Chain A
Amino acid sequence: MAQDESRSRALHIVFLIVIILLACLYIYPVFLMVDNSFKPFKEILTNVLALPSRLEWENYTYVIEKMEYFRLFVNNVVITVIGIVGIVVFSSMAAYILDRRDTRITKALHTFIITPMLIPFQTIMITLLKFMNIIHLNGTTWGLGIQYWGFGIPMATFIYFNFMKSVPSEIDESAMIDGASTLQTYALIIFPLLKTVTATVVVLDVMWIWNDFLLPLLMVNSSPSSKTLVLAAYNFVGSLNTKWHYALAAMVLAILPSVIVFVFLQRYIVDGVVAGAIKG
Chain B
Amino acid sequence: MDKRPMSPMDRKALKDTLLFTLPAVVMVLIAIYIPFVMSGYYSLTEWNGISRNPQFIGLANFKTIFSSGSPEFVNALVFTFKYSILFIILSNVIALALAVALTRKFRLANFLRGMFFLPYIMSMTIVGFIWKFIFTQGFEKLYELTGWGVWNLSWLGDGRLAFFSLVLVGTWQSLGFYIVLYIAGLQAIPTEVLEAASIDGANGSQRFFKVVLPLLGPSITTCMFMSLTNSLKVFDIILALTKGGPGGATYSATLDIYREAFQNNNYGLGSAKAIVFFVIVLILTQVVLKVFESREVKQ
Determine direct contact between A and B, CB below 8 Å: yes
A residues sitting closer than 8 Å to B (CB atoms) are: 12, 15-16, 19-20, 22-24, 26-27, 29-30, 32-33, 47-49, 86, 89-91, 93-94, 96-98, 100-103, 105-106, 109, 112-113, 115-120, 122-124, 126-128, 130-131, 135, 137, 146-147, 149-151, 153-155, 157-159, 162-163, 165-166, 168-169, 182-183, 186, 196-197, 199-200, 203-204, 207, 210-211, 213, 230, 233-234, 237, 242, 244, 247-248, 251, 254-255, 258-259, 262-263, 266-267, 269-275, 278
B116 x A23 contact (CB < 8 A): yes
Q: By the criterion CB–CB under 8 Å, are B123 and A94 in contact?
A: no
Which of B21, B35, B110 is within 8 Å of A266, CB to CB? B110
B21 touches which one: A109, A213, A248, A270 (CB < 8 A)? A109
Shortest distance from the beta carbon of B97 to any chain A beta carbon, whole Å: 10
Residues of chain B from 14 to 37 with CB closer than 8 A to chain A in the complex: 14, 16-17, 20-21, 23-25, 27-36
Assess the A237–B130 pair: CB atoms within 8 A: no
Would you give 7 A-B contacts (Cβ < 8 Å), ordered by A?
Answer: A94-B20, A97-B16, A130-B35, A200-B184, A244-B129, A262-B117, A263-B110
Of the candidates A97, A255, A270, A275, the one whose C-beta lies within 8 Å of that of B190 is A275
| Secondary structure class of chain A's binding surface, majority of residues | helix
A30-B119, A48-B133 given as contacts; is B17 within 8 A of A109 (CB)? yes
Alpha-carbon distance between A137 and B27 when the two chains are bound, in angstroms: 12
CB < 8 Å neighbour of B32 from A49, A124, A182, A233: A124
Contact A120 B123 (CB under 8 A): no
Q: Which residue of B lies closest to A27 (CB)?
A: B115
A238 to chain B, nearest CB (A): 11
A-B contact count (CB 8 A): 279
In the complex the two chains form, what is the Cα distance from A273 to B186 in whole Å?
Answer: 11
- CB distance A32 to B6 under 8 Å? no
Determine, out of B62-70, B81-89, B277-285, the stretch whose residues face the partner at the interface: B277-285
Q: Given contacts A20-B112, A49-B137, A150-B32, are A101 and B3 in contact (CB under 8 A)?
A: yes
Docked-complex contact B123 and A255, CB < 8 angstroms: yes
A211: nearest chain-B partner, CB-CB: B121
In the bound complex, CA of A15 to CA of B108 (Å): 12
Determine how close the nearest CB of chain A comes to the CB of B222; give it in whole angstroms: 5
* Residue of A whose beta carbon sits closest to that of B281: A118
* Stretch from B71-79, B153-161, B225-233 at the A interface: B225-233
Whether the pair A124, B254 counts as a contact (CB closer than 8 A) is no
Q: Is the CB of A123 within 8 A of B138?
A: no
Taking the closest CB of chain A, its distance from the CB of B208, in whole angstroms, is: 15
* Residues on the B chain within 8 Å of A151, using CB: 31-32
**B257 contacts A122, CB within 8 Å?**
yes
A112 to B118 Cα, complex, angstroms: 32
Do A275 and B30 have beta carbons less than 8 Å apart? no
